[in-house]
Amino acid sequence: MEKKIGCYICTGCGINEALNVKTLTATVAKEQKIPLVKNHAMLCSPEGVEMIRNDMTSEGVNTFLIAACSPRVHVETFRFGTPMIERVNLREFAVWGQPDAATDKDAKEDAQALGEDLLRFGCIRVKKMNNPEPFEDPGLSKTILVVGGGYSGMTAAKGAADAGYDVVLVEKAVELGGKVAKMHRLTPANPSLPGKDGLQETGAKALCLAVETHPRIKLYKNARVKQTVGAPGLFDVTIDQAGSDTVERIGSIVVATGYNLYDPNKLGHLGYGASPDVITAWDFEQMAREGRIVRKSDGLPAKRVAFVQCAGSRDKNHLEYCSSTCCTVSMKQALYVIDQYKNEASTCVIYQEIRTPGQLEDFYRKAQNEGVVFVKGDVKQVAANSGGGVKVQVADKLLRGDESMEVDLLVLATGMTPNIDTTDPNVSSNLNLSDEERAKTVLNLDYRQGASLPSLKWGFPDSHYICFPYETRRTGIYVAGPARRPMGAASSATDAMGAALKAIQAVESISRGAAVHPRAGDLSYPSFRKEGCTQCKRCTEECPFGAINEDDKGNPQFNPTRCRRCGTCMGACPQKIISFANYSVDMIGAMIKGCEVPPAEDEKPRILVLACENDAYPALDMAGINRQKLNPYIRVIPVRCLGSVNLVWIADAMSTGYDGVMLLGCRHGDDYQCHFVRGSALAEIRLSKVAETLSRLQLDSARVRLTEINIMDVDRLPGLLDDFVKEVTALGEQPYKPF
């Protein structure tokens, strides 16, 4: 289908007063040679939209350039059923973000130049844009694989199956249920509801039965995933059940492999091993389940029980993090003691800080009200008593001194470690795992970047926890429950449902050829010109999501359904052979060169701002909406992610005559905010290598800078831009300015 571009310039919202629309129209029609240009006093009105729709039928317009307000507003108004649309943000950038044109003649001139450049960018973008063809494959499956048949796994499986999806559930044990099925009671899920603060039955039996009898759930018990080949929608998963292999075609995966408890043998300093009456919370749970809370040493009733919190948690020498559940577990177990021995019970929780998030604060109150005593302090010494039980010495922070107590049982509340294999993403992946090592992996992914999910910290799988929980760095694979982060049963159930919904969203989006997130609905995906490839492997190494495999010769093999469309591969490629239908090195390069840079003697610098679409661009936009003054010399080009910035664009900008280039993107590092995890970090690394090139061009490396910004930095942003413009102009004349 031939492309027919229509450009529509809105003159409302002060655009007509601030800018010379006639000149703008001429820029599009004459200079950029897009003959169909129309103005409207209020493009977002029904009449304005009607005008565009009429052109669709009468003129055959199928590609739209809307020069009006921000692309973040009127999204629905200007939706014409095609991705072939570009919005030029005249209002926020060239009108509201500039001084009042009526009173300031210079400002008017600058705003006009800015408006024209923005339109040039838009024209070039639509001219270079192609309609993305969605990825299709006849073999796409919508079946969801759940790994792990514990509380989270069963909840996820049942949730997805109830929603009408076929589910394959793999459980390594002979029976379903996991750890929760072996527990006595659960802490209440909603203790703030009246009458709901008591301990709950686990409900594991009923859940197991529901899963086992569900017509949509295919169960593999006593089984494990031997290998996962392929990509979302097209996974071929080999399931090893008691030695015999079955291959299932899978759409997306929920990993709910739960947790392990920290090894108590490392807790000698808390008395583990000093007496049989020092036990773990898990052992205590089993005792309570059997209904016999007794001393291990002599079998006498254990009426005096102390619980030690943070046993091997929040401790540099053990687990550095808080497992968030131990406090409530100990309260629950103290209530077991009170339940069994009533008035004779004497329970005490030795803690650092009580952590009872959310409604669990009401459960804390419940435990206090039932008479559980809380002691803030450190266990200093534990010794076995000759007559059974133990003597505990505590450095009591509330009484400010050493205190000792005698108890029948000392229970260590140990923390959780994820029961999932992960790899440090900063260590290059070991592609030659031994069979033994492969057997230890949960999914054994056949990915270029390794068999395991990348970790963030402490072995938990990496994900963008703020914006996209459940997500891992492998598209279509979602982790739920304590395998993702330490959590209790109630949170795991919520988590499992969330992950199940993401898994469903993944198979549905993939069936339409669309990206899942963060570019939900994006139909484009990268393609590459194989003859240009030098097998440098940068794309396969740098893709944050392991989307690209390699063939025997080292050529990249794209897996479109693994891709999140960030363009990090495009930014990485030194040969510039990777591109999307509607986003390419050539397109942005042409836009950069399309800016009309005034000669040096005009003393009007030009600064190129490559702004991340996710946070930086909205922040710039909001500054405009708030009528904050944006420096008139900046030229903003939004990019999918700073990871997609190819260094050739810096060279393009310099040879065009821009005085400086600013990359505005998200924070990177351990507490990254980059929506594509590694994009901004990679941009920083690449940029650190550009200094040499710049000096070869007789340019100061201070002309190029990456600034981390988040969406809340609106007030800081205009000053930041002004400062950069000032610094760059102070460097003197840019030698590549046009004459």
Partner 1 sequence: MAYDLSFAKEVYKTSEVGYWIKMCMQCGVCAGSCPLGPHWEHSPRQLFQLVRAGKMEEVLKSDSMWMCTSCYNCIVRCPRGLPITHIVHGLARLAVEKGMADPKQPTRRFAVEVFWDNITSTGRVGEAGLTMKLYFIDGIGPGIQRGLEMKNQALGMLKTKRLNPIPFRSKIKGFAGFKAMLDKAFELEAKKESNA
CA angle 622, 657, 30 (to 5 degrees): 75
Smallest gap from Cβ 393 to partner 1, in A, equals: 10
- Binding footprint of partner 1, residue count (CB under 8 A): 21
Smallest gap from Cβ 345 to partner 1, in A, equals: 9
Smallest gap from Cβ 409 to partner 1, in A, equals: 14
In the list 404, 430, 655, 695, the residue contacting partner 1 (rule: CB under 8 A) is 404
Candidates 174-182, 378-386, 395-403, 578-586; binding stretch for partner 1 (CB under 8 A):
395-403
CB atoms within 10 A of CB 139: 9
By residue count, the chain amounts to: 739
Smallest gap from Cβ 337 to partner 1, in A, equals: 12
Task: CB nearer to partner 1: give 155 or 309.
Answer: 309
Q: How far is CA 58 from CA 25, 50, 51, in A?
A: 21, 12, 10
Torsion from C-alpha of 607, 612, 615, 621, nearest 10 degrees = 50
| CB contact at 8 A, 485 and 460 | yes
Task: CB nearer to partner 1: give 78 or 374.
Answer: 374
Task: CB nearer to partner 1: give 398 or 439.
Answer: 398
Task: CB nearer to partner 1: give 43 or 302.
Answer: 302
Select from 307, 502, 335, 510 the least CA-distant residue to 411.
307
308 binds partner 1 (CB under 8 A): no
396 binds partner 1 (CB under 8 A): yes
Task: CB nearer to partner 1: give 371 or 738.
Answer: 371
In the list 247, 398, 439, 685, the residue contacting partner 1 (rule: CB under 8 A) is 398
Smallest gap from Cβ 331 to partner 1, in A, equals: 13
Task: CB nearer to partner 1: give 307 or 617.
Answer: 307
DSSP structural state of residue 638? E
Smallest gap from Cβ 303 to partner 1, in A, equals: 10
Candidates 397-405, 460-468, 503-511, 538-546; binding stretch for partner 1 (CB under 8 A):
397-405
Candidates 174-182, 234-242, 341-349, 685-693; binding stretch for partner 1 (CB under 8 A):
341-349
Q: How far is CA 525 from CA 134, 507, 510, 554, in A?
A: 8, 17, 12, 20
Smallest gap from Cβ 448 to partner 1, in A, equals: 52
In the list 283, 362, 403, 437, the residue contacting partner 1 (rule: CB under 8 A) is 403
Q: Which amino acid is at 737?
A: K
213 binds partner 1 (CB under 8 A): no
Smallest gap from Cβ 346 to partner 1, in A, equals: 5
> Which residues partner with 620 through β-bridges?
none
Q: Please give the Cα distance from 584 to 649 (Å, whole number).
A: 11
Task: CB nearer to partner 1: give 50 or 406.
Answer: 406
In the list 143, 152, 346, 579, the residue contacting partner 1 (rule: CB under 8 A) is 346
Q: How far is CA 731 from CA 276, 312, 450, 608, 659, in A?
A: 74, 55, 46, 16, 9
Q: Say which residues have a Cβ less than 8 Å from residue 199's Cβ, sequence separation at least 6.
A: 185, 186, 187, 188, 332, 335
Task: CB nearer to partner 1: give 304 or 473.
Answer: 304
Task: CB nearer to partner 1: give 130 or 381.
Answer: 381
Q: Please give the Cα distance from 440 to 421 (Å, whole number).
A: 7
Task: CB nearer to partner 1: give 198 or 532.
Answer: 198
In the list 245, 406, 715, 723, the residue contacting partner 1 (rule: CB under 8 A) is 406
Candidates 273-281, 318-326, 403-411, 651-659; binding stretch for partner 1 (CB under 8 A):
403-411
Beta pairing, strands 390-396 & 401-407: antiparallel
Smallest gap from Cβ 198 to partner 1, in A, equals: 17
Q: Please give the Cα distance from 677 to 641 (Å, whole number).
A: 10
Smallest gap from Cβ 454 to partner 1, in A, equals: 40
Q: Please give the Cα distance from 214 to 208 (Å, whole number).
A: 10
Q: Which amino acid is at 306?
A: A
Task: CB nearer to partner 1: give 230 or 271.
Answer: 271
Smallest gap from Cβ 368 to partner 1, in A, equals: 5
Smallest gap from Cβ 309 to partner 1, in A, equals: 14
Phi, psi of 363 (to 5 degrees): -75, -35
Smallest gap from Cβ 396 to partner 1, in A, equals: 7
x/- contact string, 103-122, with partner 1 (CB under 8 A)? --------------------
Q: Please give the Cα distance from 111 to 489 (Å, whole number).
A: 58
Quick check: bond before 469 cis, omega within 30?
A: no
Candidates 60-68, 132-140, 404-412, 429-437; binding stretch for partner 1 (CB under 8 A):
404-412
CA angle 338, 340, 344 (to 5 degrees): 60
Smallest gap from Cβ 466 to partner 1, in A, equals: 28
Q: Say which residues have a Cβ less than 8 Å from residue 595's Cβ, sequence separation at least 6.
A: 117, 120, 121, 606, 608, 635, 656, 658
Smallest gap from Cβ 306 to partner 1, in A, equals: 8
Task: CB nearer to partner 1: give 343 or 434.
Answer: 343
Task: CB nearer to partner 1: give 234 or 338.
Answer: 338
CB atoms within 10 A of CB 306: 26
Smallest gap from Cβ 394 to partner 1, in A, equals: 8
Smallest gap from Cβ 78 to partner 1, in A, equals: 51
Could you tell me the two tokens for 631?
Answer: 């420096």
Please name the residue ranges forming H helices in 471-605. 489-511, 538-542, 568-572, 585-594
Q: Please give the Cα distance from 720 to 260 (Å, whole number).
A: 48
Cα 467 off chain centre by = 6
Task: CB nearer to partner 1: give 403 or 550.
Answer: 403
399 binds partner 1 (CB under 8 A): yes
Rg value, the chain, Cα: 31
Task: CB nearer to partner 1: give 374 or 649.
Answer: 374
196 binds partner 1 (CB under 8 A): no
SS3 of the chain: helix, strand, coil, percent, to 5: 35, 25, 45
| CB contact at 8 A, 375 and 282 | no
Q: Say which residues have a Cβ less than 8 Å from residue 575's Cβ, sequence separation at least 6.
A: 532, 533, 534, 536
Smallest gap from Cβ 612 to partner 1, in A, equals: 42
Task: CB nearer to partner 1: give 398 or 712.
Answer: 398
Cα 276 off chain centre by = 45
Task: CB nearer to partner 1: give 350 or 639.
Answer: 350
E strand residue ranges, 629-716: 634-639, 660-665, 704-708
x/- contact string, 354-393, with partner 1 (CB under 8 A)? x---------xx--xx-x-xxxx-----------------
In the list 348, 600, 620, 662, the residue contacting partner 1 (rule: CB under 8 A) is 348
Task: CB nearer to partner 1: give 329 or 405.
Answer: 405
Phi, psi of 486 (to 5 degrees): -60, 135
**Residues in the site for partner 1, rule: CB under 8 A?**
343, 346, 348, 354, 364-365, 368-369, 371, 373-376, 394, 396, 398-399, 403-406
